[in-house]
């Protein structure tokens, strides 16, 4: 006999997933409907409408990709790029690097602009990159670089890209639901996020949105999208109802219930209140960490991901192990360049609460030599 499932109740304060509220877990356990059942289609349409509110967009083509954040990244890039295209990618951490890898796999010629890990791009650096590569079809950038905790300012970049005839593609996996993300105001043409970060939903879906300009670019493709599963030209009929709700693949019904609940929680709290809460919890955590002698790596830190240097001579993995085993508390270690050298503390959605911040600070103080 298989032992009963008994996952421990952990406080998830790493780079994702974040702690999931009971209300969302209950939504997951609601009866499964058929993916063409009118009642389910109603729930799905509501979910897409809530996604528009949280993305702050009117984009008709806004839907949850079946898969985690990386599937969202692939959906955006594989539908907008084809062999022969050029693209610019901004790299200051792991996820910019993954964007580049995906762009190359689409057959595009990729021009990278890089700044050191932990830093962000200035308007001038972005303007220069656009000027240097005028034939690029797209510029791709990460809003919230989870590997370093750096917060990239995106204001003005949409206009710069559009003036040069380019599309702006944005990774908002660790910002949506925790930081301001204004798709229409910022002129973003394609954006993807994930459920398990600041939306505090289990992992499994990736909210994406495409502007009318991006839709035009997809319609002007000369070659079929290289991914069958993620081909928006086929998916859009099901999600937007155009041409009937034709079957493409079976939607992850119960995950859509969970996302609908997670987005409802965001809208009930109010986007502005929610962002203010993340800012406040970041300040509380930052003051406490600095009192413990820990310093932040990025100059422009995210609220949602706090990346601090591990002091000399400390076994960072051992401390994370103690936090997990003695306190049921998860934080993240460094990634890539920062492996073994940093801790990454997430303040995402449900986890961004005063009681959790104070618990973490007390536990960390107890574990530090």
Q: How many CB atoms lie within 10 A of CB 101?
A: 12
* Cβ at position 146, least distance to ligand PLP in Å: 3
Q: Cα separation of 151 and 171, whole Å?
A: 12
* Cβ at position 185, least distance to ligand PLP in Å: 21
Cβ proximity to ligand PLP: between 102 and 361 the closer is: 102
Cβ proximity to ligand PLP: between 33 and 68 the closer is: 68
Residue nearest to ligand PLP (CB): 69
Give me the residue label for tokens 């830190």: 301
Task: Kindly list the residues in this chain that would bind ligand PLP in the complex (CB under 6 A).
Answer: 16, 68-70, 73, 95, 142, 144, 146, 171, 173-174, 194, 203
Q: Cα separation of 323 and 308, whole Å?
A: 16
* Cβ at position 52, least distance to ligand PLP in Å: 21
Cβ proximity to ligand PLP: between 107 and 203 the closer is: 203
Cβ proximity to ligand PLP: between 69 and 187 the closer is: 69
Q: What is the spatial order of strands in the sheet that 305-309 belongs to?
A: 305-309, 342-346, 332-333
* Cβ at position 247, least distance to ligand PLP in Å: 25
Beta bridge partners of 192: 171, 208
Q: Cα separation of 20 and 199, whole Å?
A: 9
* Cβ at position 242, least distance to ligand PLP in Å: 28
Cβ proximity to ligand PLP: between 16 and 178 the closer is: 16
Q: How many CB atoms lie within 10 A of CB 120?
A: 19
Cβ proximity to ligand PLP: between 40 and 303 the closer is: 303
* Cβ at position 265, least distance to ligand PLP in Å: 19
Give the up-direction half-sphere exposure of residue 291: CA atoms within 13 A in the CB hemisphere.
11
List, as residue ranges, the binding site.
344
């Amino acid at each position: 006999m298989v032992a009963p499932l008994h996952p421990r109740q952990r406080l998830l304060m790493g780079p994702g997933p974040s702690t999931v509220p009971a209300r969302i877990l209950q939504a997951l356990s609601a009866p499964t409907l058929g993916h063409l059942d009118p009642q389910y289609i109603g729930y799905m349409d509501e979910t897409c409408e809530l996604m528009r509110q949280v993305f702050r967009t009117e984009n008709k083509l806004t839907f949850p990709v079946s898969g985690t954040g990386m599937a969202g990244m692939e959906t955006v890039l594989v539908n907008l790029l084809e062999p022969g295209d050029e693209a610019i990618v901004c790299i200051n951490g792991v996820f910019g690097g993954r964007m580049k890898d995906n762009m190359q796999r689409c057959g595009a010629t990729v021009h990278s602009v890089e700044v050191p890990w932990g830093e962000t791009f200035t308007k001038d650096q972005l303007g220069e990159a656009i000027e240097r590569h005028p034939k690029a079809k797209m510029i791709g950038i990460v809003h919230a670089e989870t590997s370093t905790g750096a917060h990239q300012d995106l204001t003005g970049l949409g206009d710069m890209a559009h003036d040069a005839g380019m599309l702006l593609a944005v990774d908002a996996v660790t910002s949506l639901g925790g930081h301001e993300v204004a798709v229409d105001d910022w002129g973003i043409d394609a954006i993807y996020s994930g459920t398990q970060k600041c939306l505090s939903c289990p992992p499994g879906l990736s909210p994406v949105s495409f502007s009318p300009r991006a839709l035009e670019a997809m319609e002007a493709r000369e070659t079929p999208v290289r991914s069958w599963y993620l081909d928006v030209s086929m998916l859009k009929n099901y999600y937007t109802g155009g041409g009937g709700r034709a079957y493409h693949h079976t939607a992850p019904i119960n995950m859509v219930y969970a996302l609908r609940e997670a987005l409802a929680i965001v809208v009930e709290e109010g986007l502005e209140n929610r962002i203010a809460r993340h800012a406040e919890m970041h300040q509380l955590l930052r003051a406490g960490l600095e009192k413990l002698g820990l310093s932040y790596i990025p100059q422009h830190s995210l609220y949602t991901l706090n990346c601090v240097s591990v002091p000399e001579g400390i076994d960072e993995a051992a401390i994370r192990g103690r936090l997990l085993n003695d306190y049921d508390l998860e934080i993240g270690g460094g990634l890539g360049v920062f492996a073994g050298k940093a801790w990454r503390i997430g303040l995402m959605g449900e986890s961004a609460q005063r009681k959790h911040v104070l618990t973490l600070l007390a536990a960390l103080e107890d574990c530090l030599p």
